[in-house]
Structure 1
Amino acid sequence: MTVGTLTQRAVALAGGTLLALSPLTAQAATPSQPEPQPTLAAKGATLVDDTSGNTLFAKDADTARPIASTAKIMAASVVLDTTGVDLERQVPVQQEYRDYVTQHGSSTADLQTGDKVTVRQLLYATLLPSGADAAYALADTFGSGATSAERTTSFIAKMNTKAGELHLPHTEFTSFDGGGADSSTPTELAELAQHAMKNDTFRTIVKTKEYKGEAPAANGRTRYYTWTNTNQLLGSYDGVIGIKTGTTTPAGDCLVFAATRNGKTLVGTLLNSTDRYADAAKLLDYGFGSSTAKSMKLRALPTHAQRD
């Protein structure tokens, strides 16, 4: 056998070996299957990558539904977006703010009539214990008109104007606290949350588990307030930085949430869920590629804390 023939046979054998290996090589190069999307209890939901703006998950995300107290995100945004807003401005607490809570059975910050609380404190009181009395105070302070009815109507109009500016055509507000027929879609509510989270003060407030502060009382003494954040996802799921709960009979349990891990921020919304915190943990696991939802233990709220 000549050298040339041996060379040809060697090449043929090598080629055969390569051919035999190539199916295995192709199999190893096949990309892994994507994680299955989570099954949620919520009727409407979305999850968005805050940096890219890409929607990672959507369930009936463009259907408008009642949003309960998550409407207070917009109330806070209207205040914080006000040009030259003075967060240390003192606002006297009116009896009608307390009466509103009683009449509507709303969650409350238990503001005491005659106390002078700052705008900053009112934002904490609105967003942590979801105080309708505090939301009323903000609307009465930042609306226009001769009477509180005119001012609150004006403030609600500002909320709707802001929705238009943010290009949220399916978002509508009929109250300053989410106690009316306020509605939005999961998609638009996430867009509102992304806008709100651009404000440093808003971000600081909604990631706070508990606020303690004091205010001049009507009797000349000092009133001490403690407000606990109703969002139990805070302190329960690693990386959560807010945002707001909401519950009414028409809306069911709602939640707007955000979390950051390894420089990646996700923003999500859940409307009408029977298990909103488990839903949120499932979505965040899906977005982060983690598996901590099953072992999550919810942060317990003090017995005196508001539920929303």
Structure 2
Amino acid sequence: MRTFARVLLAAIAGVAVVFAPTAAAAPVSGISAQLPFPLTLQPDGVRAPAAALAEANTGLIVWSRQPDTRLPIASIAKVMTAVVVLESGDLERPVTVSRGAIDSSAAYGGSTAGLAPGEVLTARQLLYAMMLPSGCDAAYALADAFGPGREAFVAKMNATAQRLGMPNTHFTDPSGLPVPDDYSTYSTPAELVRLGRHAMANPVFREIVRAPVHHQPAGPANHHHVWENTNGLLRDYAGTTGIKTGSTDAAGTCLLFEAARGGQRLIGVVLNSSPHDLDAAAADAARIMDWGFLPILGAGPAG
């Protein structure tokens, strides 16, 4: 576990602190009296066995727990699916939702965006359908179109992971469902932070994942849809800007998150906070960010 968080953030804030991180958890003599807040080396009450928090502007990981352990990531995999689609640059491309996309989602009890076979939506619209309600049906529709075919699309996901410097990440399904098994799609907390920073650098992605709800009007070839974001932090944690929840039996409840307060942006991830309770993952994320935000940087308006 690396626990040099608040001291490094203090350095970023311009506070004169010199600290060589060690495994010791004891307070550093003489430092706490110089800082405008109590010095603690790690957040309290975090249930997730694997997690990481980074300063989003630089990518500096300031606290972590099992940062390099490979674990299933559930629907956080959809972040990479979105990255592959966004990097195609063809967001107005019409995509027909196939019966196979619906059936594949249903076969594993995946969350859906309520799409119907034969509906035609643009790639941009399907990104909302995938990222907000975590629609596995939308993920499969996008993969079928932009692979073309799922096998080719998953190959693009893995090639992108390698390009981004994520050697401990592997994808076998564009939705994050346990295909072919519970542990075939995996990553690490440190590499998910890297993926999250890359995705959040795209303004279209940021616009999508910060939306609490998206209303998709009915059109000539699509039904009316209302897609609500599964990320409860957007509602409950001031300054949240994204990004993605996940949950399967093996992965438990997971959350890749970002928030900004004043001049400070934090990005992080928690994996397996609870077997089934997404609120537990949100609570873990909130505890970590409460610890990570510096009062001297976070006193400005949220966001």
Query: Aligning the two structures, in what range does the TM-score lie when normalised by the shorter sequence?
Result: 0.7 to 0.9
TM-score normalised by structure 2 residue count:
0.80
Q: Cα distance 1:34–1:103, how it changes in 2: closer, same or farther (>3 A)?
A: same
For structure 1, which runs of at least 5 residues remain unmatched after alignment?
A: 1-26, 145-150, 291-308
Q: Counterpart of 1:46 in structure 2: which amino acid?
A: A
Percent identity, aligned pairs only? 45
2:231 is equivalent to residue 231 of structure 1? yes
Which residue in 2 is equivalent to 1:240? 240
Which residue in 2 is equivalent to 1:37? 42
Give the C-alpha shift of residue 277 in structure 1: 1.1
TM-score normalised by structure 1 residue count:
0.79
2:59–2:197 Cα contact (<8 Å) kept: no
For structure 2, which runs of at least 5 residues remain unmatched after alignment?
A: 1-29, 179-183, 275-279, 296-303
Which residue in 2 is equivalent to 1:255? 255
Which residue in 2 is equivalent to 1:276? 281
The counterpart of 2:213, out of the listed 210, 223, 232, is 210
The counterpart of 1:288, out of the listed 272, 285, 293, is 293
Q: Cα distance 1:29–1:42, how it changes in 2: closer, same or farther (>3 A)?
A: closer
2:177 is equivalent to residue 158 of structure 1? no
Q: Counterpart of 1:59 in structure 2: which amino acid?
A: R
RMSD: 1.7
Q: Counterpart of 2:172 in structure 1: which amino acid?
A: T
In the TM superposition, structure 1's runs of 4+ consecutive aligned residues that sit over 2 Å from their partners are 27-33, 214-218
2:223 partner SS: strand
1:117 partner SS: strand
Q: Cα distance 1:153–1:38, how it changes in 2: closer, same or farther (>3 A)?
A: same
Q: State the distance in 1 between where 2:231 and 2:90 align.
A: 27
2:59–2:194 Cα contact (<8 Å) kept: no
Q: State the distance in 2 between where 1:29 and 1:212 align.
A: 49
* 1:101-140 matches, cutoff 5 A: 101-140=105-144
Q: Counterpart of 2:290 in structure 1: which amino acid?
A: D
1:126–1:132 Cα contact (<8 Å) kept: yes
Which residue in 2 is equivalent to 1:14? none
Q: Counterpart of 2:281 in structure 1: which amino acid?
A: R
Who wins on radius of gyration, i.e. which is larger? 1
Q: Counterpart of 1:233 in structure 2: which amino acid?
A: L
The counterpart of 2:174, out of the listed 170, 173, 176, is 176
Which residue in 2 is equivalent to 1:62? 68
Q: State the distance in 1 between where 2:144 and 2:176 align.
A: 16
Q: State the distance in 2 between where 1:240 and 1:277 align.
A: 11
2:102 is equivalent to residue 89 of structure 1? no
Give the C-alpha shift of residue 30 in structure 1: 4.2
Q: State the distance in 2 between where 1:199 and 1:87 align.
A: 13
Which residue in 1 is equivalent to 2:5? none
Q: State the distance in 1 between where 2:158 and 2:286 align.
A: 31
Q: State the distance in 2 between where 1:159 and 1:43 align.
A: 26
1:111 partner SS: coil
Give the C-alpha shift of residue 38 in structure 1: 1.3
Which residue in 1 is equivalent to 2:301? none
The counterpart of 2:78, out of the listed 53, 72, 79, is 72
Q: State the distance in 1 between where 2:214 and 2:138 align.
A: 14
2:110 partner SS: coil
The counterpart of 1:51, out of the listed 57, 81, 86, is 57
Q: Cα distance 1:283–1:96, how it changes in 2: closer, same or farther (>3 A)?
A: same
Q: State the distance in 2 between where 1:29 and 1:56 align.
A: 18
Q: Counterpart of 1:65 in structure 2: which amino acid?
A: L
Q: State the distance in 2 between where 1:93 and 1:198 align.
A: 28
Q: Counterpart of 2:121 in structure 1: which amino acid?
A: V
Give the C-alpha shift of residue 169 in structure 1: 0.4
Q: Counterpart of 2:227 in structure 1: which amino acid?
A: W
1:223 partner SS: coil
Instruction: Answer with 272-281 or 34-43: which moved more.
Output: 34-43
Give the C-alpha shift of residue 35 in structure 1: 2.4
